[in-house]
């Protein structure tokens, strides 16, 4: 699947959606399933892909603790608001920043526009900024020249505006605990990975909540269907020892590194 989203997104599952869908479709297409939930939605690649195959069949709950990301989704629901958003970005980037200091000042602002600019051109290779004379500046220069960013042209727009979707920034563990006995929903769970996102799990000491701990201790209580997407390691194998596991190779486009991922499902 070509990039459906507004910007590059680390951990985007767009290259894996068909593989994942083929493994979960028998459970997903059960008549009892009415709601698809992504508690760590990111670019919502899986929900978007499912909607292309089964338009209007499901309701969706897209949740992420990244408030700027969810704000971008909400802006995109309105054609008028998205157009105004593009206009503000063009105003910020005109004239185009010619020094790294000017560029860094822009992306360090605590605004939704700065969030988009940073993720579109900076975060994919942190530390590198699109110099005015460099190859990575071409996209923005063309946008400024044409006074058009083209967010309306991204495929996810059709999904956001035509499907029944609730957007939220709730705690993922809270969501799952509340839904633990519900059988009408399918959870697509793609959390920050333990090995590569230690800082995320350091914050657990403040809340006392951990997605892995929850599933380890309450695995026999969960009534809803789910599919975890995780990188394979010995800790994950222990936690999910009693679940169905399907392995596949994942190659990251930016680092070219290949790792083994797991699809973990309940019965």
Give pLDDT, residue 194. Answer: 74
Q: 11 or 100: which carries more pLDDT confidence? A: 100
Give pLDDT, residue 128. Answer: 58
pLDDT digits (tens, 9 = 90+) for 79-115: 999 999 999 999 998 887 777 788 889 889 999 999 9
Is 28's pLDDT higher than 80? yes
Contact status, residue 193 vs residue 230, Cβ threshold 8 Å: yes
Contact status, residue 197 vs residue 235, Cβ threshold 8 Å: no
CA dist 172 and 177 (Å) reads 9
pLDDT digits (tens, 9 = 90+) for 158-178: 999 999 999 999 999 999 999
State the average pLDDT over residues 196-212: 59
CA dist 34 and 166 (Å) reads 14
Q: What pLDDT band is residue 192 in, cutting at 50, 70 and 90?
A: confident
Is 11's pLDDT higher than 70? no
Distances in Å between the Cα of 124 and the Cα atoms of 103, 116, 127, 167 are 15, 12, 9, 25
Average confidence score pLDDT of the chain: 86
CA dist 222 and 139 (Å) reads 47
Give pLDDT, residue 202. Answer: 52
Give pLDDT, residue 154. Answer: 94
Give pLDDT, residue 8. Answer: 77
Is 216's pLDDT higher than 60? yes
Report DSSP letters for 55-119, one per residue: TTS-EEEEE-S-HHHHHHHHHHT-HHHHHHHHHHHHHHTSSPP-SHHHHHHHHTSSSHHHHHHHH
pLDDT digits (tens, 9 = 90+) for 33-80: 999 999 999 999 999 999 999 999 999 999 999 999 999 999 999 999
Contact status, residue 219 vs residue 210, Cβ threshold 8 Å: no
Please state the domain extents for the chain: 17-65+170-265, 88-152
Is 12's pLDDT higher than 70? yes
Hunting for tokens 């083209």 — which residue is that? 150
Give the CATH fold of the 17-65+170-265 domain.
Answer: Rossmann fold (3.40.50)
State the average pLDDT over residues 179-183: 96
Give pLDDT, residue 205. Answer: 47
State what percent of residues in the chain have pLDDT above 90. 54
Contact status, residue 47 vs residue 38, Cβ threshold 8 Å: yes
């Amino acid at each position: 699947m070509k990039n459906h989203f507004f910007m590059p997104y680390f951990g985007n599952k767009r290259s894996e959606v068909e593989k994942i869908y083929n493994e979960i479709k028998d459970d997903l297409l059960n008549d009892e399933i009415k709601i698809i939930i992504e508690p760590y939605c990111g670019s919502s690649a899986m929900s978007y892909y499912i909607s292309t195959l089964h338009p209007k069949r499901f309701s969706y709950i897209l949740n992420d603790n990244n408030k700027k990301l969810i704000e971008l989704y909400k802006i995109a629901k309105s054609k008028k608001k998205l157009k105004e958003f593009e206009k503000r970005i063009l105003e910020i980037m005109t004239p185009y920043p010619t020094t790294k200091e000017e560029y860094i000042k822009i992306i360090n602002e605590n605004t939704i526009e700065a969030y988009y600019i940073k993720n579109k051109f900076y975060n994919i290779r942190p530390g590198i900024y699109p110099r005015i004379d460099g190859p990575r500046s071409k996209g923005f220069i063309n946008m400024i020249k044409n006074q058009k960013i083209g967010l309306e042209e991204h495929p996810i727009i059709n999904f956001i505006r035509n499907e029944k979707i609730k957007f939220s920034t709730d705690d993922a563990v809270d969501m799952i605990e509340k839904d633990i006995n519900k059988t009408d929903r399918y959870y697509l769970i793609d959390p920050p990975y333990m090995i590569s996102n230690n800082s995320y799990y350091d914050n657990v000491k403040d809340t006392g909540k951990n997605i892995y701990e929850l599933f380890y201790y309450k695995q026999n209580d969960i009534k809803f269907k789910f599919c975890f997407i995780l990188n394979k390691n010995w800790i994950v194998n222990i936690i999910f020892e009693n679940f169905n596991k399907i392995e596949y190779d994942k190659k990251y486009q930016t680092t070219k590194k290949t790792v083994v991922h797991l699809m973990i499902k309940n019965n």
